[in-house]
Amino acid sequence: MDQHEHIENDEKYHGLTVNSGVKQQPVVNPYLKPRKRRPLPTSGELVEGILKGDITTLSRAVTLVESLSADHQTIAQEVIEKCLPYSGNSRRIGITGVPGAGKSTSIDVFGLHVLKDGGKLAVLAIDPSSERTKGSILGDKTRMERLAVHPSAFIRPSPSAGSLGGVARKTRETIVLCEAAGYNNIFVETVGVGQSETAVHSMVDFFLLIQLAGTGDELQGIKRGIMEMADGIVINKADGDNVDRARLAQAQFRSALHLFPPTQSGWFPEVLCYSGYYGLGIEEVWEMIDRYFKFVKENGYFDRKRQEQARYWMFETIDEQLRRNFYTNPEVKQMLFEKEARVLNNQQSSFTAARDVLDFYFNRENK
């Protein structure tokens, strides 16, 4: 608009006048080149960067591991394969506890404790709820303030897409990459409320259960199965007025553990009190973990368990791929849709309907 067009600029007007502004730039910068997609790195480039301990390359590779795209998966699987010979040299520790038990506060101090003597730490997470919330609760950098800025720590939130099995497998693959990048301490965090503990248990050497001194009901909805998996139970927030209650809870857990069958490792799970927030008793918790590693390395259980885990993940992966292949097949999908309706309308039994779909799936190549 021309400056004379403003009524304020009329000679009869005595208020503020309007000056002509600067000439407006076109909105689109003509010099801006169309953004090119970053080409995918080759698996060789990624492996080279990972083995050098380059954190940006590691993050990129983990992103490919987590990706659902077939191209990304091909590269990711090559990278994992090439990193495998360099992996395994770490302590893998699973950490679980109900929300509010103090996992992130504790991981922050535990992490600083293990890094005190050098080495590197990767904190990974398995959080099945992240699929629903579309954002991960666990492994969030802001929850571990000191570790997040520590140069030797790598924090990665839970992969968010897919089934629990899929999410867990990605975390397991990420462990391989982290180890190849020189991370000799791996923490895998999970929220202590369901199935995800079993998944974490199947990829770690030591499973730590963080508990709170409750109000009488010490088992706090933690399933018996989770307690049975624990190699160590630690009662957090043993500070201030809470110390006596924590000690009481400790005694209760100790006696509860006596009722459980002996562990396969031959190790008797210990129960300790500590305060993550005030940094009390941290040393004792890590002495226990050190004792455990010494014990299972000496009696051979450490290697046996890792072998067993490798076998488990092979079958898990086959299982997952078969299911995915089956359920994403368009013809199967259509057939399932029709068969479901027939079963619901009592036109066909569940078993013959299932058999028909499976027969179709397994014989489709011969048709």
Binding residues vs ligand GDP (CB under 6 A): 97, 99-105, 236-237, 239, 275-278
Nearer to ligand GDP, 99 or 300 (CB): 99
CB distance 68 to 36 below 8 Å: no
Shortest CB 237 distance to ligand GDP, Å? 4
Nearer to ligand GDP, 99 or 135 (CB): 99
CB distance 311 to 202 below 8 Å: no
Distance CA 12, CA 74 (A): 76
Shortest CB 127 distance to ligand GDP, Å? 11
Long-range contacts of 244-249 (CB under 8 A, 24+ apart): 245/213, 246/213, 246/273, 247/273, 248/213, 249/211, 249/212, 249/213, 249/214, 249/218, 249/273
Shortest CB 143 distance to ligand GDP, Å? 6
Q: Which two tokens stand for residue 232?
A: 């160590």
- Closest by CA to 43, choosing from 79, 15, 72, 11, is 79
Shortest CB 147 distance to ligand GDP, Å? 12
- Closest by CA to 201, choosing from 160, 152, 164, is 164
Nearer to ligand GDP, 105 or 250 (CB): 105
Nearer to ligand GDP, 239 or 320 (CB): 239
Nearer to ligand GDP, 60 or 237 (CB): 237
CA distance from start to end of the chain: 72
SS3 state of residue 22: coil
Nearer to ligand GDP, 130 or 265 (CB): 130
Shortest CB 200 distance to ligand GDP, Å? 14
Shortest CB 90 distance to ligand GDP, Å? 23
